[in-house]
Amino acid sequence: QAPRKARKRVEGGASSNVFSMFDQSQIQEFKEAFTIMDQNRDGFIDKEDLRDTFAALGRINVKNEELEAMVKEAPGPINFTVFLTMFGEKLKGTDPEETILHAFKVFDTEGKGFIKADFIKEKLMTQADRFSEEEIKQMFAAFPPDMCGNLDYRNLCYVITHGEEKD
């Protein structure tokens, strides 16, 4: 573990602008998520907190290696500032909404705002960075196609870039 002074400097440097990356309501949502994940309420998220969070979501057999890999993504102990910084870094890599929309529009030749779910599944599993069957299931669980088998990609793009569904 890093000496206290070094740890403070890392946390302080990381936090200097991380709070300016998000508006107050987003920070509050991240705080609520952090509180839910910090199962033992010690102010830090560790392997056991992650295991308990997965169990609360119904996933009981999470491998120790998987949990360790998650915790190792952080530069040190995961307090709220580190948690927020990690999300900021993840979201910083997200393309702008217009770029993601344009990528979907390539497949929507009639400009209807949706794509057949079977078609996009086939493309995602056979092109470029291929999705696994599990990743496809997760996507459709989060963004289920409508009764006709259409995926509303405009809403999907909005959620990817803003984090919540449009009304």
Q: For position 51, what pLDDT does the model report?
A: 94
SS3 1: coil
Contact yes or no for 84/63 (Cβ under 8 A): no
Both tokens of 109, joined, read 């030749």
Each residue's pLDDT tens digit, 108-137: 988 898 999 999 999 989 987 889 999 999
Contact yes or no for 80/31 (Cβ under 8 A): yes
Each residue's pLDDT tens digit, 42-69: 999 999 999 999 999 888 889 999 999 9
CATH code that applies to domain 24-90: 1.10.238.10
Q: Across the strands, what pairs with 63?
A: none
CATH code that applies to domain 97-162: 1.10.238.10
Task: Say what the pTM is.
Answer: 0.50
Q: Which residue spans of the chain are classified as CATH 1.10.238.10?
A: 24-90, 97-162
